[in-house]
Amino acid sequence: MVPIGNHGPIVSFTFDDFPRTAYLVAGRILESFGARGTYYVAPKLMATYNGLGEMCNAEDLRSLLEKGHELGTQTLHHLSSRKLSPQAFRLDVEQGILEAEQMAGRQARNFAYPYGHVTLGTKKHLESLVSSSRGIFPGINGPEIDLNLLRANRLYGDMSGAPPVQQLIQQNVAQKGWLIFYTHDVRPNPSEYGCTPEFFEFAVSAAARSGSPILTVEHVQSEIASGTSPRAAHVENGAVAIRG
């Protein structure tokens, strides 16, 4: 547990499983606001095709890192922690981190649970392995943040979901917390786990208008650890969005 202190309000946009549209479409939307996202990859899903569409490839990883986005991990095989022992699950997380870091040429220690499945046993086993773990329990992080199970709120569907997203952003401003959103594919006809480009752009725009810095998970942790206010930060390599 770490205190958020005076760092909030902050907003982060994250992507699970890493379908290509999360980067090619949503990544460009974030960049148009001067912001960057956190992309959680399960290496064995790369260069495959499923209900989320075409999944990311090695070129996508190279490109997103060059543009200042963050690469996180989601196990090697995208396995549920509820179907493995804590020890076996940790091993797959370790292998996923190793392969992601070899491809990226840098650390990738922020983690998201596949399917949002988490158990007390796996939570304890991952504590010393990862910098953070993100689930799918909704809500706002703060005033104390559990880095071993970050709260996150889904961005699914179309503009019909805009009012609750706007309300969440306003609530986060009032609480001066850390609000994390997650989705999967971003395309005109998304899967049930994705959203339309219009809806995603609305969420990013609403966060920017609120005056909240839009930061990657990695950058938020760095600011909290250093005690530096995100509002006083400098833009480095295009990786930070300052609003307000």
Residue 67 has φ and ψ, to the nearest 5°, of -90, 0
- DSSP secondary structure string for all residues of 185-207: -BSSS--TT-B-HHHHHHHHHHH
Assess whether pLDDT exceeds 50 at residue 101. yes
Assess whether pLDDT exceeds 50 at residue 236. no
Q: Is 104 helix (H, G, I), strand (E, B) or coil?
A: helix
Cα–Cα distances (Å) from 118 to 15, 32, 41, 86, 240, in that order, read: 18, 34, 17, 10, 30
Residue percentage of the chain with pLDDT more than 70: 93
Residue percentage of the chain with pLDDT more than 90: 86
Question: In terms of C-beta density within 10 A (0-12 exposed, 13-18 middle, 19 or more buried), how is residue 226 classed?
Answer: exposed
Assess whether pLDDT exceeds 50 at residue 238. no
Look at the domain 2-232 and name its fold.
Answer: TIM Barrel (3.20.20)
Cα–Cα distances (Å) from 47 to 155, 192, 195, 243, in that order, read: 24, 21, 21, 36
Distance of alpha carbon 238 from alpha carbon 200, whole angstroms: 20
Is beta strand 49-50 parallel, antiparallel or unpaired with respect to 53-54?
A: antiparallel
What average pLDDT does the segment 206-221 reach? 96
What DSSP state is assigned to residue 83? Answer: G
Residue 171's nearest CA partner among 210, 127, 203, 209 is 210
The mean of the pLDDT values for the chain is 91
Cα–Cα distances (Å) from 91 to 73, 110, 171, in that order, read: 13, 16, 38
pLDDT band at 5 (very low <50, low <70, confident <90, very high): confident
Find the range with the poorest average confidence among 25-34, 68-77, 120-129: 120-129
Q: How far is CA 54 from its chain centroid?
A: 19
What average pLDDT does the segment 98-117 reach? 93
What integer pLDDT is reported at residue 223 of this predicted model? 87
What DSSP state is assigned to residue 72? Answer: E
What average pLDDT does the segment 63-80 reach? 95
pLDDT in tens, 135-184: 999 999 999 999 999 999 999 999 999 999 999 999 999 999 999 999 99
pLDDT band at 91 (very low <50, low <70, confident <90, very high): very high
Residue 12's nearest CA partner among 232, 229, 182 is 182
Assess whether pLDDT exceeds 60 at residue 23. yes
Residue 55's nearest CA partner among 47, 65, 63 is 47
CB atoms within 10 A of CB 6: 9
pLDDT band at 108 (very low <50, low <70, confident <90, very high): very high
Distance of alpha carbon 18 from alpha carbon 171, whole angstroms: 28
What average pLDDT does the segment 56-76 reach? 95
Assess whether pLDDT exceeds 90 at residue 202. yes
